[in-house]
Amino acid sequence: MTRFVVVPQWQGSPSTRAMLLRDGAEAIAGDLPRSATVVLDVPLEAGDGQGTGIQRLSAVRRTSELLDDALSMSSDRAVVIGGDCSVTVAAAARWAADDVAVVWIDAHADLNDPASSPSGSSAGMALRALLGGVPDLLGTAAVSPERVVLVGARERDDAEDAYLAGNGIRHLTESDLADPAALADAVAATGAARVYVHLDLDVLDPSEFRGSAWGIPFGIPVADLVAALRTLGERTPIVGATVAGFAPADPAAAGEDLGAILRLVGAVA
């Protein structure tokens, strides 16, 4: 059985539309099966950095604790609905194991640390935290670089490129996903037997999907991503997933994008 944990956190995002992430998470929740869905009561306040260089860290930590508690209630597979990307840190860490790969599908690499981050946002450090590089977000590494597949990260900082070049992380581009088997093949090449999937909706092409917090051109077509995720799930068990980054401008705009979101949720669930 798959359960859904909705985490309307906005504090980890540097986007000017960050507060709309709450509305996006709640809009998705309205179309999920009620009996299998829990919505966390995420604090509204911004929180503070606690001297770490990570913006709003106190609020992010509180939400991570709430999410960890919710996930610990059952061993069933969970799809976490964000909110911003940093909700994946606590979620993916729950399934950390030597045979689990992490697929990070995102327009951003999220590989900064507090020293390199231009914004100080935890969302931009989320994958680096899972790799053990941000102790204030996660005390120990949950995955090794050779078990990570990055997908569609078309907007990267110089420090992230340097990290990618030095650590051998596999990276698929938007055009790679025209082949529906490319993602499954990349995960198989990691040697992992299971996989956790992180999906930030900003990876999608904004000509098809308007509700991301960023809207970066030349993204992945919805149909290509759905096909890639379904093929992945057929070949490698998906132990859990995150779908994050929905920031609709208004309720009408939310309705226009929910069909695509639910297709993607279905592909990982």
With a CB cutoff of 8 Å and minimum separation 6, the contacts of 207 are none
Q: How far is CA 265 from CA 28, 38, 200, 210, 262, in A?
A: 10, 16, 12, 17, 5
CA distance 247 to 214: 9
* pLDDT at residue 75 in the model: 83
pLDDT tens for the chain, 269 residues long, are 899 999 999 999 999 999 999 999 999 999 999 999 999 999 999 999 999 999 999 999 999 999 999 999 988 899 999 999 999 999 999 999 999 999 999 999 999 999 999 999 999 999 999 999 999 999 999 999 999 999 999 999 999 999 999 999 999 999 999 999 999 999 999 999 999 999 999 999 999 999 998 989 999 999 999 999 999 999 999 999 999 999 998 888 899 999 999 999 999 99
Neighbour-count burial for 199-230, b at 16+ CB within 10 Å, e otherwise: bbbbbbbbeebebbbbbbeebbbbebbbbbbb
pTM exceeding 0.75? yes
